[in-house]
Structure 1
Amino acid sequence: MSIDFVVHDAGDSVGVVVVEGIQAGQELTGWVMHEDQTITCQVSDPIPIGHKLAIRDLAEGDTVIKYSVDIGRVVKPIKQGEHLHVHNVKTKRW
């Protein structure tokens, strides 16, 4: 089994893509490191390597958790399997 994305902890809301060429419609396998479990997620957008993937639905205003750390807030709803980046998540620093 190959791993397509990694998640630090079951409480995270995103995973990080670790392979090239992810396209919409693919079924990906993720590794939840802390729990040493695998999860699956069907992606709805192409996602570049190193970018984030929603592993659950997120509403506007929700906090995004990556590697057990608050990395920002959702500025428009994000469905499970969608790409997270500057178009739908903003930092809380400013």
Structure 2
Amino acid sequence: MITTYNTVMMKPQDNVAVALSNIAAGALVHVVCQDKTFEIVLKDAIEFGHKFAVVPIKKGEDVLKYGEVIGVASQEIAAGDHVHVHNVEGKRGRGDKVEYTKLP
């Protein structure tokens, strides 16, 4: 029996897809985005709404979701890995990365 899993990947340049249901580790997932098709074995269980890598993402490389940069890989991420706070550092709203200028 073949199980079909619903996922979403909006832009062909994305390097992650989003699970639209809970998917068990070891599941074979087919992700289609325009003219690209990915066949991925999930290394981790992926919960509804969470991301997984569709291609390897190198440490320091931007993570792209829905055609937008959502962060940078803080470690190597293999295709099929869960992509979340343990391996991605956000780039938006980082108050600790802002340089403040002292006013006269």
Give me the TM-score of the superposition, normalised by structure 1. 0.87
Q: What's the CA shift for 1:3? A: 4.2
Q: What's the CA shift for 1:31? A: 3.0
> Number of residue pairs matched?
91
Give me the TM-score of the superposition, normalised by structure 2. 0.79
When residues 14 and 52 of structure 1 are mapped into structure 2, their CA distance, relative to the original with a 3 A threshold, is same
Q: What's the CA shift for 1:43? A: 0.4
- Between Structure 1 and Structure 2, the one with more strand by share is 1
Q: Which runs of 4+ in 1 moved over 6 A?
A: none
Structure 1: gaps of 5 or more residues: none
Q: Which has the higher contact order (CA 8 A, sep 6+)?
A: 1
Opposite residue 83 of structure 1, the aligned amino acid is H
Partner of 2:77: 78
Structure 2: gaps of 5 or more residues: 95-104
| Deviations 1:48-68 (CA, angstroms, capped at 9, x unpaired) | 010001000011100001000
Q: Is the 8 A contact 1:3 1:31 kept in 2?
A: no
Determine what percentage of the aligned residue pairs are the same residue. Answer: 34
Opposite residue 26 of structure 2, the aligned amino acid is G
